[in-house]
Structure 1
Amino acid sequence: MYYDGPLFLDVICVLQGFTFSTKGNIYTFSRSFYNLMSGIDLSANMLSGEIPWEIGNLSHVKSLNLSHNFFIGQIPATIANMSALESLDLSHNELGGPIPWQLTQMSSLEVFSVAYNNLSGCIPNSGQFSSFNMESYLGNTNLQNSSQGNQCSPVLGPMEVEDVGEASDDPVLYIICAASFVLAFWATVAFLFCLPFGQRVMLQL
């Protein structure tokens, strides 16, 4: 079962049975209903507020997509309790704070994105996080890469990475151009003054 629709998260996360009616019929679901859900897609529903910590109780869900909403606050560390989760998309929200280190314990996680939020701190580099590329973190100006010595460096966008590469190549390019110019100059001088044909050319000038 896969849920895709504008449903409030606090309703999903209260692990109790519930009853609703539609078209004159009454339907009752027990708490085991939540164990049947393999995915939840609440993207682009204009949802706001904080992501409730109870979301971690959905331990059978394999895919969670909360992207393109207006969620604020921090990423709940309890998401790490969703041990079956394979895909987590929290991109295009207004989430802040660091990425919880507890998420590195999620061994099943294969797809991850928190791009275009307001996250800060260091990107975890252990567990499955060592396999995620920088596209997962774009648009977080205060988020930094982990490096040797537990130091952090800012996450670069595609254009910034390209600029850095060009800047590092500039000194080498200058040296090559200068050396080529010097060699061409002295080769011309040697041709004009040392060879008979070059001497005749100079006399004609």
Structure 2
Amino acid sequence: MNEVIVATQNAGKAKEFARLFEPLGITVKTLLDYPELPDVEETGETFAENALLKADSAARLTGKPAIADDSGLVIDALNGRPGVYSARYAGIEKNDRANNEKVLAELHDVPADERGARFACVLAVAFPDDREPLFANGYCEGTIAFEETGENGFGYDPLFIPEGYAVTMAQISPEEKNTISHRAKALHNLQALLPEWAGDGK
């Protein structure tokens, strides 16, 4: 497997996956390279269901293995919200600033020691043949800040303080983020299921 379709049109995610796959010698194509492919409606009730919907569609339509992630922010004080609705938490149109503002508003009276949260990621790999799909999970524990800080990353990164850090995910470098992110951990777990991705030829 020397090429994989990453089923996303999110430029931020595309860059992250490209950085993660580069050491494995795998060429990454994304839906940005296949503008003719239709959008997949994320109708699943879990991260795993949504990830598989996207990966399966891309694999069938391109004839190549496809990987998709569904990820989001899970906040304890909000009973797990925004969860699978993270991308459109503030409305149908994806708007990072509006999403962050909604989270801050809902947590306005929640004290620092009760703002626990985690980024969760489920990766699904679908194949164009009849092989069973593969799944891997990754989590990054942390807390929610009281205001947005930082210019790096995307989504909820300016609000999320990773465990062991005093700054938000948006204040650390992309390289460092890739060592602690939920997506990086999910990919690391997926590599154990796909030894050929590690370049050992098995």
The TM-score normalised by the length of structure 2 is 0.23
The TM-score normalised by the length of structure 1 is 0.23
Structure with the larger RCO, 1 or 2 (CA within 8 Å, 6+ apart): 2
